[in-house]
Amino acid sequence: MKLHLFAAAAVVVAMGAGVEGQPGPQAVRSPEVAADRRVTFRIAAPKAAEVQLTCECFSGSKAMAKDDKGVWSVTLGPFEPDIYEYEFTIDGVTILDPRNEKVKYNGRPSTISSLLEVPGSGPLFYDARAVPHGSVDIRWYQSKAVNGIRRAYVYAPPNYDRGSSRLPVLYLLHGADGDDSAWTAFGHANHILDNLIADKKMTPMVVVMPFGYAYPPAAGAAGDRQRTDFEKDLLQDLIPFVQANYRVFTDRSNRAIVGLSMGGGQALNIGLRHLDVFSRVASFSGAVPRGQAADSYNDVLGDAKKLNTSLKLLWLGCGTEDGLFTPNKEFSERLKKAGVTHTFHESGGAHTWSVWRKYLLEVAPQLFPTT
C-alpha cells in the first residue's frame, strides 16, 4: 500500500501538480474505452524510464510508449465485455491508475488494483437493470466464538418487507484477500440475484455474506484457530442471529453454503462435515487440500451413501488457467472414486471475479429449484 501511495505521489509531483505558481496536471484520460471496445490506457510520468501495463484482459504485460509531453499510453483490444483488474508498473514500482477512481481493494495487505469496465451492447448479467431490487444490509452481531462484535452483509430479495412466508438461506463466503463486502462490491451478487429473480430463473432467498476470518489477518492468529473459530462463529452465532432476525427456514433442506477460493475450501470443509446443517454445497476455485493433506477428507468420503443421500447439490468449478485447477480436478477425481455424486464444472479463466460472477449466475438457480 505504501509503495502505491509513494509512486502515485511521485507521478503527481513530476506533473507539477499542487505547486503554487506551477501549471496543474495535464488532462490525462485513463482508461478510455472506445465504441469498438478497444481500450487506451494512459499515465503521465515524464521522468520515468519504463512503464508497463498488466491487466486481466490479456496475458503477461505490455510496454507503454511515451509522447513528447511525458504521457505514456497503449491501446489494446478489443476486449470482451467484463470487469478487469489492471495496474501500471513505473520503473519497477507497481501503482494504481491515478486517473481512475474505480479500485479493487483487499481485506488484507496485498496488491490493490484499478478496475476497467468494458460495457456490452446492453446490460450484462451482473449489471443493475430496471427490475425490482433487493436490499443489502450491514448487520452487526455478538459472537461468543471470538468474544467480540462481528459484521455480515445480508441480501434480502425484492419485496422481502412485504412478504410473510419464510425463505431459504445461502451463506456466501469470500476469498483470502476479501472481506464481507467483496461479493457485493466486486461480485455484484445483489444485481445477479435481482436479475435472476426478475427473469424467474431463481427462487428468492436470503443471502448472508460473513467475514471469512475469525480474527483480522493482521492479528496473526494460527491457521487452525482461524478455521475452527470461524466455523464455531458461523454455526453457533451467525446462523442463530440470522434465524432470529430474518424470515428464513430453519431446517437444513433450505440452507446452502457456497464460497470462492479460501471460502470455497471453507464451504467444502464445513458443509461436508455438517450435513445436519447444510444440504447444498458449492466451491468456486476452492482452496482444496492437495497431496497428503487431502487425506483429511477420508473420514467424510468414507460414507458416500450418507453424502449422496444428504446433499441435494455438491458443485465444484474452476478455470483451466487458475493455479488451483489441478488440485480441484484431483479433488473431483477423489470424489468420483469414492462414489460421491457431484458436478465438476471446468471453464476457461483464471483466479478472478470474471469467473466467480459467472459461477454464481450458474449455481444460484440450482440451489433451491422450484420444480
Task: Say if CB 59 and CB 47 are below 8 A apart.
Answer: no
- C-alpha separations of 287 from 81, 187, 259, 275, 341 in Å: 28, 18, 10, 20, 20
Q: How far is CA 238 from the centre of its chain?
A: 20
CATH code, 172: 3.40.50.1820
In a domain, 352, yes or no: yes
Q: Is residue 252 part of a domain?
A: yes
Q: Are residues 185 and 248 in the same domain?
A: yes
Closest CA to 189 of 371, 5, 18, 356: 356
Residue type, 222: A
- What is the reported pLDDT for 241? 98
Domains in the chain: how many in total?
Answer: 2
Phi, psi of 185 (to 5 degrees): -70, -40
Q: State residue 224's pLDDT score.
A: 87
Mean pLDDT of the chain: 91
User: Do 63 and 174 lie in a common domain?
Assistant: no
Q: Which three cell numbers stand for residue 346?
A: 471446468
Q: 158 and 39 in one domain?
A: no
User: What are residue 84's DSSP bridge partners?
Assistant: 116
Predicted local confidence at residue 175, as pLDDT: 96
Shared domain for 262 and 177, answered yes or no, is yes
Provide φ and ψ at 346, rounded to 5°.
-100, 125
Q: Measure the CA–CA gap between 114 and 186, rounded to whole angstroms.
A: 12
Q: Please list the ranges in the chain whose pLDDT falls under 50.
A: 1-24
Residues 81, 142 within the same domain: no
Q: Which of 65, 92, 118 is the last residue of a domain?
A: 118
Last residue of a domain, one of 61, 88, 118: 118
Number of H helices, E strands in the chain: 10, 18
User: Do residues 51 and 90 touch, judged by C-beta distance below 8 A?
Assistant: yes
Structural domain of 16: 2-118
The pLDDT of residue 66? 98
At 10 the pLDDT is 43
Q: At what angle do helices 223-232 and 262-273 cross, to 10 degrees?
A: 60
Residues forming beta bridges with residue 258, ordered by sequence position: 172, 282
Q: Which residue, of 118, 145, 174, is where some domain finishes?
A: 118
pLDDT of residue 174: 98
What CA–CA distance (Å, rounded) separates 244 from 323? 40
At 191, is the secondary structure helix, strand, or coil?
A: helix
